[in-house]
Structure 1
Amino acid sequence: MRTEDDAAQNDGAEHDGAEHDGFGWDRPASPDPAEGGRVWLVPTPVGNLGDLTLRALEVLRGADAVACEDTRRTGALLSHLDIRRPLVRLDAHTMHRAAQVLEKYPRLAYVSDAGTPGISDPGAELVQAALDLDLPVEVLPGATAFVPALVLSGLPTARFTFEGFLPRSGRERKERLSAIASRAETTLLYESPHRLHATLLDLALHCGDGRAASVTRELSKRFEETRRGPLSELAEHFAGGVRGEIVVVVSGRSDEEAQAGAPDYAALAAQLAAEGLSVRDLRARLMAAGLRKNEAYALALQAGGPAIASDTL
């Protein structure tokens, strides 16, 4: 039943220049050419096409062009949706052309291969290019992979860190793995199917075989799977290979792990100082071992003594 209050609210909404429904939500509307240039970051489904929002459809239909990472993939999506817009490739290799593209198509919609642009893809660079040109930027709410995977994991969700993709090898990869192992909050990361097994083994090596984790793949698709368990068991389960887009969720370090594995930084600093390291090098080594910058500097000064405390840092 429509009450007098509802009628008054709706009557007011009809005259404020916007389209609203009875609950105070804006109805989707096509971009208004009078608004001038702007960039829309438009999330696309990670699996099920039904996850595309009505507003995303309207923006894609009304933009001057649609920029994307893969014109074939996005072209197939737009064809399925019966949307005919010029397609422009803007990926990691062509993002340097962003200013020229925005000059030609000032009302530009940008999509990634799947999910929300700007998360582990070049969309963030396009945002910066638009801001440099004083173009407004809008990010539409919509599909993303790591939030559903976090909730599905059953692990704590109050605080978490999103790592994106880990480096494939080298010192930076080891440092990121060590950071995940020492972190108290939940960690999320993306991984490709052919590197999943190796990454789970590396996580087990740094975090311990028993650290709780989950692997979610093929979100919202027919063969969606979430596997939960200790890292060692997950590594064994996925040793034979896997398909699909993957999110790995790793629990934070417990208080017991922290107490059992806490390094003796003072002893380490004394050992390094005895080897003749300068304050600068001492600080760098202590930071690599897990200390924060200020704490590492204070301990390096204390261990190094006044003779080298004046080193330029």
Structure 2
Amino acid sequence: MTSDSRTQAGTLYIVATPIGNLSDLTVRAQQVLASVDVIACEDTRHTSKLLQHLGLHKPLLSVHEHNERDRIEQVAQLLRKGQSMALVSDAGTPLISDPGYPLVQGLRQLGLPVTPIPGVSAIITALSAAGLPTDRFTFEGFLPHKAGSKREKLEAQAQEPRTLVYYEAKHRILETLQMMAEVFGPERPACVARELTKTFETFYHGTLPEILAQISADDDQQKGEFVVMIAGNPNPAPSSEVDSEKLFRLLLAELPPKKAAAVIAELTGVNKKELYQKALEIQGKA
């Protein structure tokens, strides 16, 4: 084992695991998983399969979105006792649209060491082969499930000049692409990656309506995990230089908060819910 892969007592290692092809696990990641005392994971059943593939047997500790805050002290105690630990998600790099942020934040605040072991990330993997600008991009994770909230979120991003990256589930992919075509326009270039690194990996290129037609035409193409990438707006509307708080005060003198927020959202493209909360705050100061 090299010095780079030898684990240190009392350290939590953030270990990236494959997103499909098990051969993508780095040598260093495998060595770290083999040498830690405990592995914290999103789903013990899923991680058990990975360890079985590697011929490893390790104590597992479940850390998921519903219990990770409760796990902070337990993990901290193990680290203080000199045990080394690895944190893995079901696939890819932990904390990237996956659980782990409260745990890592809590350990950092306690002064305990956290070390990343880099590897595969679906975002970077998809972007590298998408054929869209990658010098600047923004990752938005999963969109809201409800149609109204989803449309509102997309409308707030319609002027974004950077490449937009989303994750989407198979049972929502068609609805989401249809809504994106409506909000971003039928000419916006895009790329959708499906089942990255797996046997049926597929990339769809073209405008949003063209990609929607390709995926709609075959039920088999609606299965798996999707990364949706949209080219940024080439001609974004200039951002408003108006003092939003001053504008709010003027509007609130004539309009209810909800209506005032809607007017400013239309002018600036900022999320209406965020603006509504700001309107209530400003109204409370008056």
TM superposition score normalised by structure 1: 0.75
1:204 Cα offset (Å): 0.6
Counterpart amino acid of residue 276 in structure 1: E
Distance 1:27 1:132, change over 3 A: closer
Counterpart amino acid of residue 17 in structure 2: T
Cα distance in 2, alignment partners of residues 310 and 129 from structure 1:
35
Deviation string 1:193-230 (CA, Å, 9 cap, x unpaired) is 11111110110110012211011011111211111011
Asked if residue 277 in structure 1 is aligned to residue 277 in structure 2, the reply is no
Corresponding residue of 2:225: 245
Cα distance in 2, alignment partners of residues 72 and 128 from structure 1:
26
Alignment counterpart, residue 207 of structure 2, candidates 224, 230, 249: 230
Q: Quick one: percent identity of the two aligned structures?
A: 39
Asked if residue 68 in structure 1 is aligned to residue 48 in structure 2, the reply is no
Cα distance in 1, alignment partners of residues 98 and 51 from structure 2:
20
Match of 1:105, SS state, is helix
Counterpart amino acid of residue 32 in structure 1: Q
Corresponding residue of 2:12: 39
Match of 1:102, SS state, is helix
Distance 1:310 1:121, change over 3 A: closer
Q: Give the alignment's Cα RMSD to 1 decimal.
A: 2.9
Distance 1:246 1:100, change over 3 A: same
Asked if residue 125 in structure 1 is aligned to residue 102 in structure 2, the reply is yes
1:72 Cα offset (Å): 0.6
1:129 Cα offset (Å): 2.1
1:97 Cα offset (Å): 2.5
Counterpart amino acid of residue 228 in structure 2: V
Corresponding residue of 1:50: 23
Cα distance in 1, alignment partners of residues 59 and 283 from structure 2:
62
Cα distance in 2, alignment partners of residues 287 and 84 from structure 1:
57
Contact 1:30 1:61 in 2 (8 A): no
1:171 Cα offset (Å): 4.7
In the alignment of these two chains, the number of paired residues is 261
Counterpart amino acid of residue 56 in structure 1: A
Consecutive unaligned residues in structure 2, runs of 5 or more = 271-281
1:283 Cα offset (Å): 5.7
Match of 2:40, SS state, is strand
1:254 Cα offset (Å): 1.9
Contact 1:64 1:105 in 2 (8 A): no
1:29 Cα offset (Å): 2.7
1:287 Cα offset (Å): 3.8
Corresponding residue of 1:116: 93
Corresponding residue of 2:275: none
Cα distance in 2, alignment partners of residues 50 and 274 from structure 1:
59
Alignment counterpart, residue 59 of structure 2, candidates 78, 86, 89: 86
Cα distance in 2, alignment partners of residues 222 and 312 from structure 1:
59
Larger relative contact order (CA 8 Å, sep ≥ 6): 2
Structure 1 runs (4+) greater than 4 angstroms displaced: 272-275, 280-283
Match of 2:232, SS state, is coil
Alignment counterpart, residue 59 of structure 1, candidates 22, 28, 32: 32
Contact 1:46 1:143 in 2 (8 A): yes
Distance 1:109 1:274, change over 3 A: closer
Contact 1:98 1:129 in 2 (8 A): no
Contact 1:160 1:188 in 2 (8 A): yes
Deviation string 1:107-164 (CA, Å, 9 cap, x unpaired) is 2211000000010011212211212322111111110001121121111111111000
Cα distance in 2, alignment partners of residues 274 and 46 from structure 1:
50
Contact 2:239 2:268 in 1 (8 A): no
Corresponding residue of 1:203: 180
Contact 1:66 1:88 in 2 (8 A): yes
Counterpart amino acid of residue 74 in structure 1: T
Counterpart amino acid of residue 253 in structure 1: N
Deviation string 1:252-303 (CA, Å, 9 cap, x unpaired) is 1122xx46x999x9xxx8xx9599326x66763344225288xxxxxxxxxx
Corresponding residue of 2:121: 144
Corresponding residue of 1:190: 167
Larger Rg: 1
